[in-house]
Amino acid sequence: MANTGGQGADVVLDSIAGKNLIRSIQSLAYGARAIAVGVSGRDSE
């Protein structure tokens, strides 16, 4: 929040979960968007 002057970010692109995801959500401005990117599975070949 310090980097945005206390306003929060307009968009957060996140690929991690747990406590770090919560911190990302908390850094959003009112009406902002969070985009979660993840891998659901991989082939074992």
Give the 3-state secondary structure of residue 2: helix
pLDDT in tens, 1-45: 677 778 888 888 877 777 777 888 888 899 988 888 875 555 555
Domain parsing of the chain, residue ranges: 2-36
- Single out the residue of 39, 37, 27, 24 nearest to residue 3, CA to CA: 27
Q: Which tokens in the block code for residue 22?
A: 């919560």
CA distances from 14 to 11, 33, 43 (A): 10, 11, 23
- Computed over every residue of the chain, the mean pLDDT equals 77
φ and ψ at 17, to 5 degrees?
Answer: -120, -175
